[in-house]
A and B are shown apart, each in its own frame.
Chain A
């Protein structure tokens, strides 16, 4: 093959790369606004599931705080906290926590904590637990996560923030103890984090 042919082939490939990239870029440009809006909508839906809409009057999606990585939140990179306020007074903070020790890896949680340290609600955002066993942590599969509502570090006492098999108060599922154990611990840790940092979160 002559060098001219090689050059031509290279040029040909290059033209296609440019054309392809252009198409993708144009589409991205057209779709971007809608995608951002979709992400915002889903986020808002998740946040409102933890915190009734009428309890806050601020734009919770925008009122965020980027906090440093903390072992208590199970993260090794900074994460976002959403702050709910009513007439300027703090109402609740919603954390992105991770239970690092699920049965099949990390379980991503959204944990809402009222200003007084009680739990507004817990939802599982993402997980890869076994379908049919560990996935009862999803709200559409069972109401297990609702057991956290209203709990705090005093209710039950700290030493009993465990699943029943470990002499705590929380139910485990038949055939799956590791998953609920991981979540109970992650939620407890989130409360501990909140307790230690409440001053910084609502400045």
Chain B
């Protein structure tokens, strides 16, 4: 398996930020009450990861090791502030919803973790790819968890899609049952924990099935 495939696999599956590393749980659990919120924060985190990995990798040659962590924090904080300002200018309504969670991306350990653990030791190309894949893995989990909680909690899917994609996206909103009263637990924080736990269980089950299959295939006597 080539490096790139390995990185992709790691970010999306084997070493998924949310399901395996269990990092960045604060924003993960707090904003995923709807798909749109999850995707909004997921995209912001993804962009931060790609940019911070790229920048950290670029400066890795001449960074002094004593000050590397403060520099990483500085870089990440600047990126997040710039994203926040941009979002305020371009997607103000979404910004109103995601509110305080954008600045909190700075505290998402996954980002400094990738900077220190990967980008500071690898060339720019693969570092950016690592950021992209780790971010995508996180984004997918945010979206899935948001979807689960929104369907169970509100009985809708893609509500408020217009906040992110403009007025036309209002048609995306699916309402499954007009008279659905909602299920409070799913919307409240405990629902987020249950949802995340279920996703982890699902991931582990699928993972062990795949492993069994792989070993079963290997165990077969080779015919040629």
Q: Name A residues whose Cβ lies closer than 8 Å to a Cβ of B.
A: 1, 5, 8-10, 12-13, 16-17, 20-21, 23-24, 27-28, 30-31, 34-35, 38-39, 41-42, 130-133
Contact = CB atoms under 8 A, between A and B. Distances in A.
Interface in B59-76: 63-64, 66-67, 70-71, 74-75
Interface string B72-93: 0011011001100110111011
B179 to A, nearest CB: 15
Contact of B67 (A13, A28, A30, A38): A13
A13 B63 CA distance: 9
A8 to B, nearest CB: 7
B152 to A, nearest CB: 12
Contacts of A17: 74
A38 B92 contact: yes
A24 B82 contact: yes
A38 B90 CA distance: 9
Interface stretch (B2-10, B12-20, B138-146, B181-189): B181-189
A5 B71 CA distance: 16
A31 B184 contact: no
B89 A38 contact: yes
B169 interface: no
Contact of A42 (B33, B77, B86, B92): B92
B71 A132 contact: no
Contacts of B71: 12-13, 16
B210 interface: no
B96 interface: yes
Nearest to A28: B85
B65 to A, nearest CB: 9
B88 A38 contact: yes
A5 B75 CA distance: 22
Shortest beta-carbon contacts, A-B, top 4: A38-B92, A34-B89, A31-B89, A20-B78
B103 to A, nearest CB: 13
Contacts of B64: 5, 8-9, 12
B88 A31 contact: yes
A41 B85 CA distance: 17
A42 B74 contact: no
A109 B93 CA distance: 19
Given A13-B70, A131-B187, A131-B188, A31 B86 contact: yes
A10 B71 CA distance: 11
A20 B33 CA distance: 33
